[in-house]
Structure 1
Amino acid sequence: MDRFSPAAPAAIRVQVLPVGQIEPASFKETLRCLRQDGSILTLAEIDKKTRSQHLFSPNACPHGSVFFNFTTSASTEQDQHLAPFELFRDTLLVLGVADGLNSNVGILQKELKEAAEYLRERYPRVVHRHLVVVQQAGVDEYPVIENVTVLKIASEASGGTWAWREAICDVAASFLAELSTYARAVQATPGVQTPGQTAKSLQKIITLWGDEVKAQPSGSGSATPTQSNDIASPTGEETSRPPSRGFGSPPPATTFEQIQAASRGPAGLTRSDSAASNRSKGGKRASSQDRVSVHGFGSGTSQSKARERGKARVGIVIGHIYMMAGQWSEALRILVEHTNVTRKLADNLWHGKGLEGIVVCMLLLTWARLEFSIPSICYPISERNNAGHAQKFSLNMPSDFRPRDAAHQAVVRRLSTSLPDLLKQILNLYSCPEGPLELPFLVVAESKIRFCNLMTTLLSTDEKLDEKALETLFSRKSNVQPKKPPIIPSNTTLSRASIAALVAEAQPNEEDGLPISDQINLLAGVYGVFAALQMDRKKSIVLKEIISKLTAALNQARKVGAAEAGIHPAATFSADTGADAVRRCLGDGDNTTVLINEIAEMFGIHLTHRKVESGTSNVEMRATRPPVHFGNESLKFEVMRVLIAFCEASPDPLGVMRIESTFLKACTTAAPLDLKPHTHACLISREEQARHAASISRTIVISKQLGLEDVQGSYWDPFLLRNLEIVEPEANRRLVTWNSNSTMAETMDQDTSSNPLLYDPNASRPGTATQAPCVLVCNEFQQCVITVQNPLDITIEIESVQIETGAKDEMQLIIEGFKPVNLGPRRFQQVSFLVSPTLIGKFNIIGCRIKIAGCREDFFPIFAAAWAPQSPMLVKNQGSNAKDAGGDLELMPKGIQVAAHSLPPIPLLTFENPSPKTSNLMLLDGEEQNLSIVVRNAAQSVAAAIFKIVDDCGVLKFSPRVENIDSPCTLEVLQPGGSTTLALSVCGVAGVSETQLNIFYGAYPIQNECQYARMLCIPFRVTVDAALQVHHAQIVDVDVNQFIFAFDLVNSWPKPLYYRIELEGTTAADEGVLTTGETMRINLRMVRWVSNASVPDSIREELLSRISIIWRSWEGQRIGTVDLRGLKLSHDQLDIVRGRLQRMHLQILDATKVFVGSFLIIRATLFNGRQSESEALMVELRLPQNTERHIASIGVLHRVLPSIPALGKGHVDFMVCPLMAGEFSLTAFAQNAQAGISSECSQWHTRSTCVFNVPEKDPIR
């Protein structure tokens, strides 16, 4: 039972010890079974094991129960000193659990006797010592030995519970028999000394008095180590055991032999108040709380009151013993009787102790549903004289009385309403000093905590002792209430504030002088009350204080242990001295983890995960919302410093790494930063950041020395990765898209530029623009650059990087060339390495798995844009209520994905460096030369196919040797590791100084029409000099079928040149020689040709292609052609070249009838002057502008004329009506009537104009 339970005074402390070669796990399981099955035993069950009648025979009150508090720790000297005032603190029963003994009966009997004798010698002060032997397989019978019980194997139906309970009942029966003897011995003592300490109000005065006061005794108590030994023990055990160090009086006797020895010397049981007694003890005057005021005359009155006081105190102790033995009704009677005596004698401390025992007895009787009446001593003074309540709740109940009877329920209701005032009265009595002495702070503080737990339970049940409240008090159930605070009725006398104020008085301080263990226990009790009251803030402060006390205690224990071992305290974590302790701490790490998680949650600290199990995806562990931030930041840092110190003292390396990571995470801005010049403020100094970083490194080093390899933290900045980019390779490795159905190839640029004149609605929205996928080649490395950020003032080391893809087929990217890098403080930094895909297909790069030194490998998404969480504009929750608020929080940004495409292996072509003569060419304008280039396939597994060979300026030409019938789009095929020679011809063009040969190639065979290819670039430098040049072109129309094309031919070469002019379709040629600087006018009579070209540029190209001018040097070593594309021809000249294929005449039929209002027929006659049939023509009649009111038309003004035969004619008619007199001009146009021709294209047409005058009445001439 919990020591802070309201029923703790009724519990019997049992110390459980392992005996024999019992395993630790088995002993822990035994202790768990004892606490689960043997904590509460009914006297009816114990009665079955009782062998003889005694004072506490269970049959006297079969409805009672015995409470056992099983523990493995021995009672401290202070607990022994506080008994029998608080007998439940001292160990009354020692229970040994034996296992692993010899199976031989003779040897087993000897071992059991030796074990029992050892317990008797080792623990002589306890009431009873018992041994429980776990039955072994193969041993059916055990020797019968006194105080030895065999734990038999239970049947499968019972499940093992009854076997434990039966053994514990046997132990309880033997204990009650010994307890009867102990009670009789205590009853024979004349008095009991009150444990006390010097009142705090006198301690300062005593300190000022100096040595004179220090020589005087200050009473018994844990805080007065200078107390004189002349104050005797109530059992007279001072001769059997030396006084404990730090306490003034020895602990009370607990065995029958010790009490009998004490009874033979009654002088030692009472304190002598005479001066002779004081002089016999060295002249010192003893100060005791047993001294009473003398109100009468003579010494008889004082001695009589002292005897009555001692008898009353012994009676209260006996009443508590009866209460422990389950005789609650008899205990209530005894306690009421002797508490009345202490009240009359103004023995306040024992008066309060008696009232507390009465309260516990009534609670136990209520829980057992036994009839009782509330004693008058429990009522206020104003109600004690009124006997109505005693008559109303008399014990004279009918024989068929039931617990649910109205009278019993009235008693319980009266008890529940009286408890708050009664408990406060008890505390007031405990706070009353007796002379210079007062109760130790520990006794009063634990009483306050027990009473606060009782009042908290009543508060949660509306001050009703119902089944829920009783189950909470006596059935080892948690007293923590639901999350929602209870609704307190308006008529209640209890409140959360009053209970909290009362329990706050139980918090220890340095002036109380308590050991650190007692301080921690008291703080734990206070924490439990605040937790039941749902006061999270007070609870968190107390829990923080507990952590601080535990840290100090652990550090002190480590120093003491190191001093005893003769080593430095820092060396206690070495591999030889501390490895086992650290491993045990890590094995039990869940307990400290729960404690740390709770205090962190109270203060709004979001701790990282203690340990990530294998197979757990860190992507799933990351929340989509930021954590709810509440609480003071400075207080959070202070709490985390306390937690770090606690984990270091535990020692808990995993906890240290966890909280250190959380600490540094709280220092960051928790957002992807931008590149603005302003600084991002950090919440702690640079020096403290360095200390925490050094703590992480130190913890890892120590953990590795201890053999703990998996001690790592979580990196504190989730926005570490800011960008990931696949760098475009060099020109020879660059990829282009190639379509076999087209002769065009486009380079795959990573950054696709858009037209700035086109509106893009998604341009202002980041992340919505379509990004071109990054193209990679399978099993080929390409440079990758990642950008990382470090918002803190410490340097971190990046140990490894792995690219994470979202592909379902386990697409992996192999990393090569990565070296650990140091990321400096407060900066952005780029890290480059090579990547290569292992599979073929499309995938997305979603982030990287990055290993930071001292941290576990973690996944980091890509956050390209800056972001910061925005505080809500409307504050809806404050304080601890903010923990449950999260609906209005801003979503965390989602990481971007980089689209990528892994291609099949693509070959790589290289070329042999051309000779200087080949790379630097000297040519004349129009001259052609031949050259060759050797190309080699560097791939060892993929054949290469050359698709296209072009240059930038169009001066290089390639002619394939043999046409590839299987793949017409392939020019050359190179096997893996093979080479070929490409034969090229270069032509000199004026104005071209350099060019680049582009060879497009890809994998062979071709898999599909559209694939990726590479481009091999070979640069050339060209020097071009002028040779023959043409100027001043002129075209003269001769007739319908012929025209003259004239131009000047000039020799710009410093040597004579021979020329030859040839026309297409004729055998005649014009030849000649031009000397240096000579100019000759060339006139060429050319015959018109049938052409369907309608665009002027096409007519120009047709004209120039029919003329060929070849020149040759006088020596004949150089030969070339003249480029006529430099001639400038006007549109009128091109009209002459094309000729007017159709001629049109516009006239008015019957011109004698032209007057205002007459209908005129306008006829357009077209003549076809070509030797072939013309195409269909569209004829359009256009009226003068702004003459809608002057002349009207009838019908449409567009007519389609069918094709006109060769040298034939055709006409179309239009009808108009002049509306007023005057001169009018009409124009008709004719053009080809071809479908699908854009209106933007300028087409050849013919037109004709007709001008006529409209008189008023007379017709025109």
Structure 2
Amino acid sequence: MNTYAFTVPARIKAQVVPQDGLDRAEFATCLSSLQRIAEVRLVDVMPCAGLFNPQAYPQGHVMYDFTTDDQDVSQLFLLDFEPFRKVFNTIGILKWTEELDDGKLSSLHKDLKSQHPSSLGHYSLVFGAPKDYKSAVPNVFAVLSDLANIETVICDVTSSFLGNLSVYVSAYQHVTLRSPGIASGSVANGTVKKRISTSFESQDKIRAHRNKGRRQKLYANFYLLAGNLKSALAEFCESILNLQYAGDYLWLASGLEGLGLCMALLVKLEAPFQLPTEILALLDNVKKTTQSPIVSPRPSFQSANGFPTQPSSAVYSVEVVENLIIKAINKSFAYYRQSLQTPEDYAPQIVLCESNLRYIDYLSSVNVHDSVELICSITSDIFNERFVHLPPTQRYRIYNSMIYVYGRLNMRRKRAFLIRELLELVLKHQLIAEESYDGQLEELLDSVLQIYGIDCQKTPNQIQKKVLVSVFRFCHHIKYHKGVAKYGCFLLRDFHVMLSENEQSHIFGILCQLNQVYPYWDDHLVQNISLYQKDKLIQDELCEAAIVLQNPYLFELEVKNIKVATNGFPVKTQLNLKSKVTGTSNTSVTLKPHALTTVSVFVVPLNHGNMEITGISAVVSNCEERTFEWLEKQPTTAKNPVPEYKPRSLTVPVLYEQPLLSLVDVKLPNRWIMLLEGECKRFDIVMKNASNVEVNQLTTKFLDSTIEPLNQLLQNKNLPPNEVYEIEYYLIKKNRSKF
């Protein structure tokens, strides 16, 4: 449920906890079942003794907020002012087993009470119980496996709770209620506006009005929680008149806010109601001289103000009621702001913020003219100079709620700004240790990137870098691994020029620690591809290729499983282990930081035809294997300063498979011979065809030991021309040997 929904002051907080070692999945299923029936009709609730007997207003509803949160100790000082903040019930969830007898249930229920002593009611729900199961332990209820009786169980819990609530509220009958500022021991900076006593007014009378008005306002809050809207409306109206007379602005503001909610719930139930003329005059800012309302001892409004006890039809239309609600809440905020001038009876910042958020929730759910402009003006009361003094957890919840509201109103820029503030708050105060999120979080973070123009094919700037770093750190902090991989790769791909060596290494180190694979972020790994045999290749024969790989980062990269990528042409690839690339192993190559590295590989075409080399496929570090196209950078222009890249390829013909001969033996002693000039000798040469292709033509050319020394002499550039001529003559003009 929305933490700051407009109906929160009418919802009973019930903490749901697992018992007897219930696992998380089963507990989540049971909690979900409870949350689906969070609203109970009073007509279905058994009568109970006390002030909140459901028969007093059977058409009312009791609404629950089933949550796993415990009582917020930072808000204890507000419980007498806004009682809906209290966790009233604690509900333990158990799974039925045959070993679950009454003795064990009694012990578990006793532990539940001792662990949550501040709750009014403690109840244990046994889920999955058979139809004939019934426990004799008080406040233990069985929920059938098909959940057929779960609504009846919640009705029984509600009946017990309303009885406990009557006892709890009776303790306030003779208590002097203090404002939250006094209860918390803090005093606001402000000027005290003292009332001047006249012959018609005394301080004792004002104090009596104030005490009665505060008690009536508190009782109205309890009636609201108990679903008795008729009594709640009456108490709110009388409390407003008493508090207005006493000049108690803080409690008066809270009463007006409660009145607005009460009217909204009555409209929802289509229940008729009327407001006193004094209340209508107050909402319309009409000053009317009236007698002190304290002279009437009535606990609720009746015939003196012209209220029919049971009106036969609704007095106000829905449009009129919505207007009255807005007037009541606007008047409430006016009094809240006025209370800030008093040092003791002032509105705490958390009360102001949450009241504004509930009002925003109401405005965004109804069709009110200029509601968006009104919401924007309200936010100034939330994010003021006092907001930074709130506890981080409360600021976190407020940010989260406003992000939701701005998203619903399609106010993307404001939403993105608050998301960024939320991320910084979480990182600064380490608010969340570990959470699991669904796809909504990714959409939330992506919206921030979109608003700041990240990944829009434009030159990145420092603001974008700062935002993206915050998003990455947030994902790493909450262990959202999908976001860590996505936004970490984003940073290294587009912002590595702005990142220092430590920042790059830190991001890369976090990526390497992930348990999931992700694609390598740089599309420009391949810079060039060349073949040593450029004219043609032979099917099934080795050809050496040189591949230039780029590492633009300030840390080393390991590239594994390098394979030449083609246009579907079958090839085999293996590393040339004799290459001089530093860090080359049997399966990988190490790319030095911020450098180009030439990798030598052997390519074996497995078919004939035209082979088009388009890039490589490889595994970079811990990334998943992917294909890298050979991209060529296009020249930039003034109109298009962002560089563009187009795919390149290398096409080479591959001939049919050729015979592959190898020299097996030369039938000569020691495989050499010395001949005198003109001498002739016969010997045999043994050759082997290592291929599956027969040899139908053989052209031979023999080399002897005199050729290589003469070639080496020719490489000497200092030889005289006559000697060069002689050597060339012997090599070219003269036959050395005849075969």
User: What residue number does 1:855 align with?
Assistant: 623
Match for 2:80 among 81, 84, 96?
Answer: 84
Question: What does residue range 819-858 of structure 1 map to in structure 2 within 5 Å?
Answer: 819=584, 820-837=588-605, 844-858=612-626
One-letter code of the match for 1:427?
A: F
Match for 1:194 among 163, 170, 179?
Answer: 179
Match for 2:451 among 577, 599, 602?
Answer: 602
Question: What does residue range 511-590 of structure 1 map to in structure 2 within 5 Å?
Answer: 512-554=388-430, 588=437
Query: Matched residues in 2 for 1:504 and 1:291: separation?
Result: 25
User: What residue number does 2:719 align with?
Assistant: none
One-letter code of the match for 1:722?
A: Q
The answer on 1:428 being equivalent to 2:329 is no
User: What residue number does 2:565 align with?
Assistant: 804
User: What residue number does 1:220 align with?
Assistant: 183
User: What residue number does 1:718 align with?
Assistant: 523
1:696 Cα deviation (Å)? 3.8
Superposed CA deviations along residues 13-50 of structure 1, whole A, max 9, x for unmatched, are: 11111111211110011112222x222222233x3xx1
One-letter code of the match for 1:129?
A: H
User: What residue number does 1:470 align with?
Assistant: none
The answer on 1:126 being equivalent to 2:119 is yes
Kept in 1: contact 2:223–2:231 (CA 8 A): yes
User: What residue number does 1:949 align with?
Assistant: 699
Query: Matched residues in 2 for 1:163 and 1:553: separation?
Result: 45
User: What residue number does 1:1140 align with?
Assistant: none
Match for 1:637 among 462, 465, 474?
Answer: 465
User: What residue number does 2:487 align with?
Assistant: 659
Query: Matched residues in 1 for 2:538 and 2:186: separation?
Result: 80
Query: Matched residues in 1 for 2:310 and 2:41: separation?
Result: 25
Kept in 1: contact 2:539–2:655 (CA 8 A): yes
1:144 Cα deviation (Å)? 3.0
User: What residue number does 2:154 align with?
Assistant: 168
User: What residue number does 1:745 align with?
Assistant: none
Question: What does residue range 21-40 of structure 1 map to in structure 2 within 5 Å?
Answer: 21-35=21-35, 37-40=36-39
User: What residue number does 1:63 align with?
Assistant: 59
Query: Matched residues in 2 for 1:68 and 1:869: separation?
Result: 64
Query: Matched residues in 1 for 2:616 and 2:222: separation?
Result: 70
User: What residue number does 1:815 align with?
Assistant: 574
User: What residue number does 1:8 align with?
Assistant: 8
Superposed CA deviations along residues 929-987 of structure 1, whole A, max 9, x for unmatched, are: 988786654553535414253889xxxxxxxxxxxxxxxxxxxxxxxxxxxxxxxxxxx
1:83 Cα deviation (Å)? 0.7
The answer on 1:940 being equivalent to 2:702 is no
1:840 Cα deviation (Å)? 6.6
The 3 A distance-change label for structure 1 pair 5 and 166 is: same
Kept in 2: contact 1:153–1:163 (CA 8 A): no
Question: What does residue range 615-634 of structure 1 map to in structure 2 within 5 Å?
Answer: 628-629=456-457, 633-634=461-462
In structure 1, the residue corresponding to 2:522 is in which secondary structure?
A: coil
Kept in 2: contact 1:795–1:822 (CA 8 A): yes
Kept in 2: contact 1:78–1:222 (CA 8 A): no
1:323 Cα deviation (Å)? 1.0
The 3 A distance-change label for structure 1 pair 321 and 776 is: farther
User: What residue number does 2:720 align with?
Assistant: none
1:858 Cα deviation (Å)? 2.5
Superposed CA deviations along residues 194-215 of structure 1, whole A, max 9, x for unmatched, are: 102xxxxxxxxxxxxxxxxxxx
The alignment's TM-score, normalised by the length of structure 2, stands at 0.81
In structure 2, the residue corresponding to 1:6 is in which secondary structure?
A: coil
Match for 2:268 among 367, 381, 398?
Answer: 367
One-letter code of the match for 2:558?
A: E
The 3 A distance-change label for structure 1 pair 149 and 90 is: same
Superposed CA deviations along residues 804-863 of structure 1, whole A, max 9, x for unmatched, are: 3443xx945242436243434555442111133456776644432222224333221121
User: What residue number does 2:105 align with?
Assistant: 112
Match for 1:413 among 319, 341, 345?
Answer: 319
Query: Matched residues in 1 for 2:220 and 2:310: separation?
Result: 27
Superposed CA deviations along residues 1062-1086 of structure 1, whole A, max 9, x for unmatched, are: xxxxxxxxxxxxxxxxxxxxxxxxx
The answer on 1:694 being equivalent to 2:526 is no
The answer on 1:356 being equivalent to 2:341 is no
In structure 1, the residue corresponding to 2:22 is in which secondary structure?
A: coil
One-letter code of the match for 1:638?
A: K
Kept in 2: contact 1:849–1:858 (CA 8 A): yes
Kept in 1: contact 2:47–2:55 (CA 8 A): no
Superposed CA deviations along residues 989-1029 of structure 1, whole A, max 9, x for unmatched, are: xx99979xxxxxxxxxxxxxxxxxxxxxxx9755279xxxx
Kept in 1: contact 2:561–2:619 (CA 8 A): yes
1:70 Cα deviation (Å)? 1.2
1:359 Cα deviation (Å)? 0.2
The 3 A distance-change label for structure 1 pair 295 and 846 is: same
1:148 Cα deviation (Å)? 1.5
The 3 A distance-change label for structure 1 pair 83 and 290 is: farther
Kept in 1: contact 2:42–2:60 (CA 8 A): yes
Kept in 2: contact 1:83–1:89 (CA 8 A): yes
Kept in 2: contact 1:992–1:1024 (CA 8 A): no
The 3 A distance-change label for structure 1 pair 145 and 912 is: closer
1:11 Cα deviation (Å)? 1.0
* Larger helix percent: 2
In structure 1, the residue corresponding to 2:547 is in which secondary structure?
A: strand
1:120 Cα deviation (Å)? 2.9
User: What residue number does 1:146 align with?
Assistant: 138
Query: Matched residues in 2 for 1:291 and 1:181: separation?
Result: 38
Query: Matched residues in 1 for 2:137 and 2:598: separation?
Result: 81
Superposed CA deviations along residues 347-385 of structure 1, whole A, max 9, x for unmatched, are: 000110000000000111111221123454255455576
Kept in 2: contact 1:847–1:897 (CA 8 A): no
The 3 A distance-change label for structure 1 pair 41 and 124 is: same
Kept in 2: contact 1:870–1:890 (CA 8 A): no
Higher relative contact order (CA 8 A, sep 6+): 2
One-letter code of the match for 1:6?
A: F
Query: Matched residues in 1 for 2:631 and 2:145: separation?
Result: 64
One-letter code of the match for 1:777?
A: Q
Superposed CA deviations along residues 1065-1113 of structure 1, whole A, max 9, x for unmatched, are: xxxxxxxxxxxxxxxxxxxxxxxxxxxxxxxxxxxxxxxxxxxxxxxxx
One-letter code of the match for 1:347?
A: D
Kept in 2: contact 1:194–1:289 (CA 8 A): no
1:506 Cα deviation (Å)? 1.3
Match for 2:204 among 303, 327, 352?
Answer: 303
One-letter code of the match for 2:197?
A: H
The answer on 1:777 being equivalent to 2:539 is yes
* Larger strand percent: 1
User: What residue number does 1:501 align with?
Assistant: 377
1:293 Cα deviation (Å)? 4.5
One-letter code of the match for 2:660?
A: P
Larger Cα-atom Rg: 1
Query: Matched residues in 2 for 1:698 and 1:222: separation?
Result: 49
Kept in 2: contact 1:907–1:944 (CA 8 A): no
User: What residue number does 2:734 align with?
Assistant: 1023
User: What residue number does 2:722 align with?
Assistant: none
Superposed CA deviations along residues 658-693 of structure 1, whole A, max 9, x for unmatched, are: 32221121126xxxxxxxxxxxxx4x1xxx341233
In structure 1, the residue corresponding to 2:171 is in which secondary structure?
A: helix
Query: Matched residues in 2 for 1:641 and 1:798: separation?
Result: 26
Kept in 2: contact 1:848–1:859 (CA 8 A): yes
One-letter code of the match for 1:342?
A: L
Question: What does residue range 388-407 of structure 1 map to in structure 2 within 5 Å?
Answer: 401=313
Query: Matched residues in 1 for 2:526 and 2:116: separation?
Result: 66
Q: CA RMSD in A?
A: 4.2
1:10 Cα deviation (Å)? 0.8
Kept in 1: contact 2:565–2:617 (CA 8 A): yes
Could you tell me the percent identity over the aligned residues? Answer: 19
Query: Matched residues in 2 for 1:416 and 1:381: separation?
Result: 14
